[in-house]
Chain A
Amino acid sequence: MIIVFFRNRRIKRLIPCILEIILALKNRGIPPNVNIISKRLGVNPQIVKRALDEAFSENLLLKDSWELTDSGRSLILKHRGKFIHDKFMHKSPIFKFSGTFNNLSSHLKSNHGFSSNDVASIKDSLSSLQGRIEELMPLSKIPPKSKCVVVLTIGGYGFVRRLADMGLTPGVEVLVERNAPFGGPIIVQVRGSSVALGRGVASKILVRLLEA
């Protein structure tokens, strides 16, 4: 009984990750199948199969084409929002968010001081992300002397515009020069100039690490 309960819970948690991978694979033009997904996730193919069945039956994924349905897409949005929120916005690992993306946006407004415009801007970035959110790291966690590519910036329109004005737009390559210990700011090379970013700012810039 208990084992079944935990296994079902695990499968439920896997579904958004699997959807993310399918989306990423499709974007790269690779037809998704169970084996690739299980390799990517490091999970037994049997379990992936179960999770896929669950996703088909809940109408998150179309059975033949493996296209995501609207509810599948909104599940991904919610998953990404939750990931960003739990990982970057709360310092304590205990606080976890559950509920739909709409719940999350009202939570962002009431507890994190974002305006409706800010939340709209965050939603834009999240829904467009190419690739899996788990592969991204905040710029603040990148060790010195390594290169990375900015994938998305999280924040209100004013904040993302300011970063863009300083050259930090999605797709730009960034070299981390200094990463001060104990929550200090970092220095990056971007578009030919050095820019210092406070820790809070750097943790809202999600990047993909390039090989050193």
Chain B
Amino acid sequence: MNRRRRVILALAGNPNVGKSVIFNQLTGASQTVGNWPGKTVERAEGKLYFKGYEIVIIDLPGTYSLSAYSQEEIVARDYIAIEKPDIVVNIVDASALERNLYLTLQLLEMHAPLIIGLNLMDVARSKGIRIDVQKLWNILGVPVIPMVAVTGHGIDRLISTVVDIIEGKIKVQPLNVTYGREVERGISALEKAVSENLPELASKYSPRWIAIKLLERDEEIIRRVSSYSSGNLVLMVSEEIAGELEKVHGEPSPVIIASERYSLINRIISEVQVVESKEKVTLSEKLDYWTTHPIFGYIILLSVMASIFSAVFLGGGLIEEFLSSIFDDYLIPWINDFCRSVLPEFYSDLIVNGILTGIVAGITIAIPYVFTFYILLAILEDSGYLPRAAFLMDNFMHRIGLHGKAFIPLILGYGCNVPACIGCRIMETDRERLILGFLIVLVPCAARTVVILGIVGKYLGLLAALSLYAFNLIVIILLGRLLNRSLPGEPIGLIMEMPDYRLPMLKPVLFKTWFRTRDFIYVAFPLIIAGSFVLELVRISGLIWTISDFASPFISGVLGLPKLTAIPLIFGILRKELTLIMLIELFKSSELNLFLTPIQMVVFSIITIFYIPCIATVAACLREYGLKRTLLISFASIFLAFLLGWTANLILTLLNFI
């Protein structure tokens, strides 16, 4: 009796149905957030103790369906099919029952042990939608719990129903999802072929489910089936059956199956749902009207972006200043004195300049900028504004081979690349994420703006600095188009739900922010500290001069820069402003025009803008893309930087001669 029984519960549902609110209500602070193995899909897990049960709650990614459209859908269905959680709670938006039941039917089809959390009952009521919950329960054959998650209504009942089901107090008779006569005939023929030829796969997933997925022409399942030697036979059978269905119905087979699911849903809905004429326009609809308006929408977008910018970079800047003043004025001198009194100079330098500087750099970036950005991102996500911004910018983003959603990370890159890189995960496919990642590391962030203004702006004028920005934008656009053409796969168009506006709640926003920041610190800090340690080692040991000598044929010969500039370029990896600061230190003068020709200034700035931004961004990339792609992005950007620097040197020198 003392031993707690462990129950695995998975939360499934469409995006924007309040799933994460329910997750937070259930688990409180006992969460861990990470990625699903091998995927850039967020995985949140938490625990709940109830009546002697230890309930482990897995928050599956929000999906509209369980086809192979995105990583999220594959993660969700593989978890349900292979890990077989004890209970699957399907959160359903009561105000959009028709679209939401589509996923529910697919979950029933997988024989998932289902409970329906019918959320947003209040929104449904305000839209004049009335649902007969008991009747829905009877038809679906699984418990349906009405909920209003933001107020916590229905949470307790949900949990006690989970326990009742586990203990067998509630009997369930899940609805058998059946299709039309021809489709059913096709499914059962194919099912037989699957269980005869692919016993291994059929034991993992159910044969009927595989048969349906094959008829839906699901790429992922086709790939898995064809990896078996007997798979080709099954694929031939499925091709034949699908072809026959298509001939009879005259539609592609995935559409036939989807249509039949929807017609079943419509039969269910006509039984359980009554829509009364609604009398007034809701606030969400009014907001929607103005924020997607062809004129006012852009004005609102501009002001939202401007306020995010100022919040992140003024607010973040203030916090950074405050934190660095604490470190610079008190902590560092104090630790420095202490180290010097007990350790020889070599080691104390290593500790103070190496490790401590790394920690300080990490804290002064992560806390002010990343944390502030995460809060704002969470508010934007939870309010439902992001899809509106994506809608407005879709047209422009298509010109660089992406769609509207990419706009937000890209624009944030102008402030700091770190949050921008993390923001890439809002894109649906790997392909889009990779293109966006490439482009974002090229966006000149605030630190690089310091360099551009401090060198080119100061000595060659503002116009020259602005034309560098323009040049950068052109390179980004061209590279975007190039990547879009050359990467495999088709660019996907925008297909995006526009959810209702909702008031973001403080607790979910803070939870989300805290878990993401913590996650970032885990990944970024070791890298930043190690990087700064290695660089300090290189400096103290005098290796730095060897490196700059070694690089000189390239730096002076090819790029036409003074030999010394290799050093600031190397240290710029730590933080981009360092290139300017170290240049001044190395020349022992802030009059850079005495040491650099205008051409050299331009070339130096171009290289600084384009080569891999800084170690914190590399860490963020690593977090989002994994090692291989991070290396690819890093080296590609270094290569691009030197290529552009070399070309600029060549062209400008030529122009100079003329």
Q: Is the CB of A166 within 8 A of B398?
A: no
Residues of B near A158 (CB, < 8 A) are 68-69, 219
Q: Is the CB of B497 within 8 A of A166?
A: yes
Q: Is the CB of A195 within 8 A of B250?
A: no
A84 to B584, CA, bound (A): 64
Does B259 lie at the interface of the complex (its beta carbon under 8 Å from any beta carbon of A)?
yes
Does A105 lie at the interface of the complex (its beta carbon under 8 Å from any beta carbon of B)?
no
What's the least CB distance linking A34 to chain B, in Å? 28
Q: Contact partner of B99 among A113, A117, A193, A200, CB < 8 A?
A: A193
A199 to B511, CA, bound (A): 37
What's the least CB distance linking A24 to chain B, in Å? 14
Does B496 lie at the interface of the complex (its beta carbon under 8 Å from any beta carbon of A)?
yes
Does B122 lie at the interface of the complex (its beta carbon under 8 Å from any beta carbon of A)?
no
What's the least CB distance linking B403 to chain A, in Å? 6
Residues of A near B219 (CB, < 8 A) are 158
Q: Is the CB of A185 within 8 A of B395?
A: yes
Does A171 lie at the interface of the complex (its beta carbon under 8 Å from any beta carbon of B)?
yes
What's the least CB distance linking B126 to chain A, in Å? 14
Residues of A near B391 (CB, < 8 A) are 180, 184-185, 187, 196
Q: Is the CB of B254 within 8 A of A164?
A: yes
Does A45 lie at the interface of the complex (its beta carbon under 8 Å from any beta carbon of B)?
no
Contact with B along A162-176 (1 / 0, CB 8 A): 111111011110000
Does A181 lie at the interface of the complex (its beta carbon under 8 Å from any beta carbon of B)?
yes
What's the least CB distance linking A153 to chain B, in Å? 7
Does A99 lie at the interface of the complex (its beta carbon under 8 Å from any beta carbon of B)?
no
Does A50 lie at the interface of the complex (its beta carbon under 8 Å from any beta carbon of B)?
no
Does B236 lie at the interface of the complex (its beta carbon under 8 Å from any beta carbon of A)?
no
Residues of A near B96 (CB, < 8 A) are 191-193
Contact with A along B123-166 (1 / 0, CB 8 A): 00000000000000000000000000000000000000000000
Q: Is the CB of B255 within 8 A of A187?
A: no
A128 to B251, CA, bound (A): 7
Q: Is the CB of A124 within 8 A of B65?
A: no
Does A201 lie at the interface of the complex (its beta carbon under 8 Å from any beta carbon of B)?
yes
Does B45 lie at the interface of the complex (its beta carbon under 8 Å from any beta carbon of A)?
no
What's the least CB distance linking B612 to chain A, in Å? 32
Residues of B near A170 (CB, < 8 A) are 251, 255, 259
List residues of B (533-575) whose CB comes within 8 Å of A's CBs: none
Does A157 lie at the interface of the complex (its beta carbon under 8 Å from any beta carbon of B)?
yes
Residues of A near B394 (CB, < 8 A) are 184-185, 196, 198-199
- If the complex has contacts A185-B394, A191-B98, A198-B493, are A169 and B255 also in contact, measured as CB distance less than 8 A? yes
List residues of B (274-308) whose CB comes within 8 Å of A's CBs: 288, 292, 294
A171 to B246, CA, bound (A): 16
Q: Is the CB of B258 within 8 A of A195?
A: no
A171 to B266, CA, bound (A): 13
- If the complex has contacts A185-B494, A193-B96, A198-B403, are A167 and B262 also in contact, measured as CB distance less than 8 A? yes
A194 to B496, CA, bound (A): 9
Does A29 lie at the interface of the complex (its beta carbon under 8 Å from any beta carbon of B)?
no
A162 to B219, CA, bound (A): 12
Of chain A, the residue at the smallest CB distance from B218 is A161
Of chain B, the residue at the smallest CB distance from A188 is B498
- If the complex has contacts A125-B251, A201-B493, are A161 and B217 also in contact, measured as CB distance less than 8 A? yes
Does B90 lie at the interface of the complex (its beta carbon under 8 Å from any beta carbon of A)?
no
Does B637 lie at the interface of the complex (its beta carbon under 8 Å from any beta carbon of A)?
no
The contact sample of 6 A-B pairs, CB cut-off 8 A, is A113-B490, A182-B395, A195-B495, A195-B497, A195-B498, A198-B398
Chain A to chain B: the 8 pairs with minimum beta-carbon distance, closest first: A128-B250, A164-B258, A198-B494, A198-B493, A165-B65, A201-B493, A161-B254, A194-B498
Residues of A whose CB lies within 8 Å of any CB of B are: 113, 117, 121, 124-125, 127-129, 152-153, 157-158, 160-167, 169-172, 178, 180-185, 187, 190-201
Residues of B whose CB lies within 8 Å of any CB of A are: 64-65, 67-69, 95-99, 102, 216-217, 219, 246, 249-255, 258-259, 262, 288, 292, 294, 387, 390-392, 394-395, 398, 403-404, 490, 493-499
